[in-house]
Amino acid sequence: MLNIVIFGPPGCGKSTQSARLTSKYNLVHLSTGDVIRKEIKSGSELGIELESIVGKGELVPYNMIIKILESALVQNKNSNGFIFDGFPRTIDQAIDLDKILAKDKQEISTAISLCLHDKKAIERLLNRAKLEGRKDDTENVIKNRLKVYEEETYPLISYYHSQGKYLEVKGDCSINDIFYNITNIIEEKMALAQIDNNILNIL
C-alpha cells in the first residue's frame, strides 16, 4: 500500500495536489476537512457544533476526528492506499495514525509538506474566498489557522523527519509544477523502497 500524508499551511494547495495524486496512483483521498464540511452542510447537530469550531479556525476535538479517520480506513480496507489530506494535524494524531495502521501491518510511506510563506497563503485564501466563499477564509480566521498550523502542525516536520519519511516541496509554483515535483519524489522514494525490498529478499 502507498500511504501518503500531505500537509502544509492553509492555502498551500494540498487538496488540489491530493486529488491529482489520488487519481494518478489510484488511492483513496481522505480529506478530514471535506468530511467536516459535508457534515456542516447537512445541518446535523454535530454539523452545527463543528461549524462553530471550524469557523474560528480552531482544530476539531480529537474524539470527533478519530471517528472520521477510523470509519474511512475500515470502508476502504482493500484499497491501494490513502492520501491523508489534513490528517494528521498534530503529533498526537500522527502517533495514533501510526498505531492504527500498524494494527493492519501498514505504515505511512512518505509525508510531504508543501511550503508556503504566510503572506502568499493569505493572498491565495482571500482569492479563494471570492470564488468558493468558504466561511473560514476571512482574514482573521486565516491568521488564526496559520497560527494553529505553526503551533500544532509544523512540528510534524521533525516527527516524520526522524522516521526518515519527510519530503518537502515548494508550494509557491504552478499546480502542474508542484505535481511534477511531488510525483518525482514519490517515485524516487518508491524505487528506493523497491531496492531495499530486493536486498532483503536476497538476504
By CB under 6 A, name the one of 59, 100, 185, 190 that touches ligand AMP. 59
- C-alpha cell at position 40: 456542516
Stretch that binds ligand AMP, among 49-57, 164-172, 179-187, 188-196 (CB under 6 A): 49-57
**In terms of DSSP H, where are the helices of the chain?**
14-25, 32-42, 45-54, 62-75, 91-103, 118-132, 139-148, 156-162, 175-202
**Which residue in the block uniquely carries the three cell numbers 469557523?**
55
Terminal-residue alpha carbon distance, the chain: 23
Of 56-64, 75-83, 160-168, 192-200: span binding ligand AMP (CB under 6 A): 56-64
d(CA 28, CA 35): 13
Question: SS3 letters for 164-185?
Answer: CCEEEEECCCCHHHHHHHHHHH
Choosing from 20, 29, 145, 189, the residue that interacts with ligand AMP (CB under 6 A) is 145
Q: Pick the closer one to ligand AMP by CB: 87 or 160.
A: 87
Q: Which of 6, 12, 36, 114 binds ligand AMP (CB under 6 A)?
A: 36
Lookup: cell for 67: 471517528
Q: Which of 17, 73, 87, 146 binds ligand AMP (CB under 6 A)?
A: 87
Identity at 94, one-letter amino acid code: A
The binder of ligand AMP chosen from 4, 12, 54, 94 (CB under 6 A): 54
Is residue 86 near ligand AMP by the rule CB under 6 A?
A: yes
Min dist. Cβ of residue 195 to ligand AMP (A): 33
List interacting residues with ligand AMP (CB under 6 A).
Answer: 10, 32-33, 36, 53-54, 57-60, 65, 86-87, 89, 93, 136, 145
